[in-house]
Amino acid sequence: MKRALALFLPLALAGCGLKPLYAGGAGGAVATTLADVDVAPIEGKGGWLVANALRDRLANTGGSARYRLSVRLDDKIAGFGVRRDDSVSRERRTLRARYQLIDTTNNAVLVDATAGADAGIDVVQSEYATIAAENTALERLATILADKIVGRVALFAGKPQPSQ
């Protein structure tokens, strides 16, 4: 019975139309498209962190790229926990990105989407510790946003493209 189930399960999954996104490995359609994306400069410290995380994930070799990824960030810190003396005890750092994947051959916008992430930060007596926590949150949020953006671009790359 277990053997029959083990033989039937792969056939059932193949029939549902699912296929691996990164099929074909480094030579597959998704990997080659991701390697052909250049990241435009992004303003600010958060932008520098997000751009570096994107470049690490896209693995562009530095040559001329067919696609350009343009990203605009919105970085906010808001206090929401209050102590008896009206000082803030907790903050929320929110990093939102609006990004566009642009075909450099004709300047067509292929993907226009947003992504966001947020993190909670404890505000403590030491200002240094609070600033360090805010910076650590920004670094973590930058990697989360980069993962979301690359995932969305990979979904675009995995879809069959109309012939030009």
Express each pLDDT in 4-57 by its tens digit.
Answer: 666 666 666 555 665 655 555 555 777 778 888 999 999 999 999 999 999 999
Domains in the chain: ranges and CATH: 23-155 (3.30.160.150)
Question: In Å, what is the CA distance from 27 to each residue of 17, 19, 33, 54, 143?
Answer: 21, 16, 10, 20, 25
Q: What's the pLDDT band for 159 if we cut at 50, 70, 90?
A: confident
pLDDT greater than 90 at residue 82: no
Confidence at residue 161, expressed as pLDDT on a 0 to 100 scale: 66
Q: What's the rounded Cα separation, in Å, for the pair 148 and 139?
A: 15
- List, in order, residues 6 or more apart from 83 with CB less than 8 Å away: 89
- List, in order, residues 6 or more apart from 78 with CB less than 8 Å away: 91, 92, 94
Kindly state the average pLDDT of the residues 56-80: 86
Express each pLDDT in 85-129 by its tens digit.
Answer: 878 889 999 999 999 999 999 999 999 999 999 999 999 889 999
Confidence at residue 12, expressed as pLDDT on a 0 to 100 scale: 62
Helix (H) or strand (E) holding 139: helix 127-158
Alpha-carbon torsion angle 135, 62, 24, 18, nearest 10: 50
Alpha-carbon torsion angle 107, 108, 110, 112, nearest 10: 80
